[in-house]
Amino acid sequence: MELFNHLAVGFGVALTPINLLYALIGTLLGTLIGVLPGIGPVATIAMLLPTTYALQPVSALIMLAGIYYGAQYGGSTTAILVNMPGESSSVVTCLDGYQMARRGQAGAALAIAALGSFFAGTCATVLVAAVSLPLSALALKFGPAEYFSLMVLGLIGAVVLAHGSLVKAIAMIVLGLLLGIVGTDVNSGVARFDFGIPELSDGIGVVVVAMGLFGFSEIILNLESTEKRELITTKLRGMWPTKAQFKLAAPAVLRGTALGSVLGVLPGGGAMLSSFASYSIEKKLAKDPSQFGKGAIQGVAGPESANNAGAQTSFIPLLTLGIPENAVMAMMVGAMMIHNIQPGPQVMTSNPQLFWGLVASMWVGNLMLVVLNLPLIGIWIKLLTVPYRLLYPAILLFCAIGVYTVNNTSFDVMQTAFFGLLGVIFAKLECEPAPLLLGFVLGPMMEENLRRALLLSRGDPTVFATRPISAGLLAAAILLVLVIALPNIRRQREEAFQEA
Amino acid sequence: MMSIRNPRDFWSGVLFVALGIATIVLSSKYTLGSAARMGPGYFPRILGILLIVLGGILALRATRSAGPPMPRFKWRPLVVVLGSVVLFGAIVRTVGVALSTVLLIVTASAASHEFRPRESLIAGVLLAALAVGVFVIGLQLQLPIWPWQR
């Protein structure tokens, strides 16, 4: 079997001591920031990107990927023990996880969350490996017209599945695309929108944008609320779930894994959406839905499996098509670019060690997480007692040093502060920053493919509609917008997000 | 008479329209070219027009359906957090990591309503030692530790 050969190559890379070390660092850091509310994987990856310059590209990507799925494990710990989502994807875990903890079943909830996540992670890793080959083979046949349409579909899909106003989200994408093309145009050599500032002729760095929009503004918004964080210490008794609990949880884990795997691949999907969807499905399928919100173990098992599966399968579009579907994947694009790897279908053939090494490392990382997470819970709880007034200046410091060292210029620090301000303004206006980051990363690629497609068609714009694959992709994008614009579905979508 | 019933949507619409106009004005000095041979001004102008259209829709819709009022800006965290970071960026090369870290931690801590000067000074010194250890010695980043090391 070809697949097994590839996976063997992958494990050969992932199991070298140095890559094991970086997987461990990544997953531990991911768990750490997952446990801590107020800092997410996007800001963390932005913070660590500059430090990966000296690493082998595969080690860098293994570490950064570990942060994302590690955060899924960590987020559940805080949700269950403190009733606070450490990560946005574990919002729903609070509902039943914390109730279980209050009944003295914190251990069972944590164990189910970890085991479910591990099962989901294992399945998702296999899925990533299995789907990647045919998908990237298909993507290699894509011309510029198909690529352009694919990006349109990816970007539209990403905002359709997110919550909030659709028009605002599309406007944020457009703004992101514009920010993405700041700097020297590769075709004409003209420096665009540089305002005569030489540093801007190289374009705006992805670290700068992400750290400002996701790191700084998050801290500022957190500081605006004056309420104090309460910490409830729960005694961990009886770590292991009972047989009856296993029986209830097992099917929920299976469903959550399947759902998360599918939703993870869709644009805009990933960990958060998967967990929300899984919770509502478990509630609908349950024999006794009234138990939900009072400590139903399915309400922990399903979403926690789903968010981990979703976190992992969201790598599929990135690795095979080069299209990031959420903000974390946009950061991964940034990381690949920094190491001179153009994300896309050619990565698998031109750089198989990197590709399969990364895939295999996901399973290795999951194994580390399930082994390490439960014994380390005591330490994570201790960390939660560190007050925010001590935590945020330290985060700011690491951000500032990180962003300074990308190019060793203070101009980047100023720019990041500017994007921090922008992030606060957008938050006040209820404009989500994630679509902007996606647009930002795709901006140059989108312009290039539009340019090439129209060059090949001698300026005829109908090329996007006459080539069948391109037409299909665009039709899907238009359909998505129309469907979501229908009042009925719109209402249901709002409700789905309200409920959770 | 039109009235703003959804201020958040209205002002985001205005912001997008303004940014769209700025884009078109700025890109007017770049060659437009034709669809087959796009100049550097082609794609930005498309995006500028899109921004104006989308912003316009938002602003117009905001006069029809109602929404919650604008949330208030709180200036202290905004100014203090961003100010301390800008200060750090401006002085780190001349003053060195050690002192600028202490300064960053102490000034940034003042953004919180629970500010405790002495505690933040201790945190600053500890974090300065950590930053020097991890970034300058550990990761070998090109940063001076002290002011006289330039």
Q: What is the number of helices (H) and of strands (E) in chain B?
A: 5, 0
pLDDT at residue A497, rounded to an integer: 56
Same domain for B27 and B53: yes
Which residues of A are less than 8 Å from B74 in CB distance? 223-224
pLDDT in tens, A370-388: 888 778 888 887 887 788 8
CA nearest to A164 within chain B: B9
In a domain, B56, yes or no: yes
In a domain, B49, yes or no: yes
Same domain for B82 and B56: no
- pLDDT of A499 above 80: no
pLDDT in tens, B27-41: 988 888 888 888 888
pLDDT at residue A500, rounded to an integer: 44
pLDDT in tens, B11-24: 999 999 999 999 99
Residue A338 pLDDT class (50, 70, 90 cuts) = confident
Same domain for B80 and B38: no
Tokens standing for A484? 């979501």
Question: Can you give the residue range of the structural domain that contains B92?
Answer: 75-149
> For chain B, which residues score pLDDT lower than 70?
1-2, 150
Same domain for B134 and B87: yes
Same domain for B92 and B57: no
- pLDDT of A209 above 90: yes
In a domain, B39, yes or no: yes
Same domain for B54 and B89: no
Give the Cα-Cα-Cα angle A7, A68, A223 (nearest 5 degrees): 175
In a domain, B139, yes or no: yes
Q: Based on the structure, what is the number of domains in chain B?
A: 2
Residue A489 pLDDT class (50, 70, 90 cuts) = low
Kindly report the pTM of this predicted structure.
0.88
Q: Which of A404, A407, A411, A431 should we substitute to test contact with B (largest number of B Cβ atoms within 10 Å)?
A: A404
ipTM value, please give it: 0.93
In a domain, B98, yes or no: yes
- Average pLDDT along chain A: 85
CA nearest to A451 within chain B: B38
Rounded average pLDDT over A234-241: 64
Same domain for B88 and B118: yes
Look at residues B38, B61, B84 and tell me which one is the last residue of a structural domain.
B61
pLDDT at residue B58, rounded to an integer: 92
In a domain, B122, yes or no: yes
Same domain for B92 and B134: yes
Residue A493 pLDDT class (50, 70, 90 cuts) = low
In a domain, B69, yes or no: no
Q: Which residues pair with A184 in a beta bridge?
A: A191
Same domain for B94 and B55: no
Same domain for B81 and B56: no
- pLDDT of A297 above 50: yes
CA nearest to B11 within chain A: A429
Same domain for B101 and B45: no
- pLDDT of A238 above 90: no
pLDDT at residue B107, rounded to an integer: 92
- Highest mean pLDDT of the ranges A109-113, A134-138, A295-299, B44-48: B44-48
User: CA of B148 to nearest chain A CA: how many angstroms apart?
Assistant: 18
- pLDDT of A179 above 90: yes
Give the closest of B9, B44, B131 to A192, CB-based.
Answer: B44
In a domain, B26, yes or no: yes
pLDDT in tens, A65-87: 999 888 888 888 888 887 777 77
Whether chain A has a CB inside 8 Å of the CB on B22: the answer is no
- pLDDT of A202 above 90: no
Q: Which of B139, B141, B142 should we substitute to test contact with A (largest number of A Cβ atoms within 10 Å)?
A: B141
- pLDDT of A469 above 80: yes
Same domain for B105 and B50: no
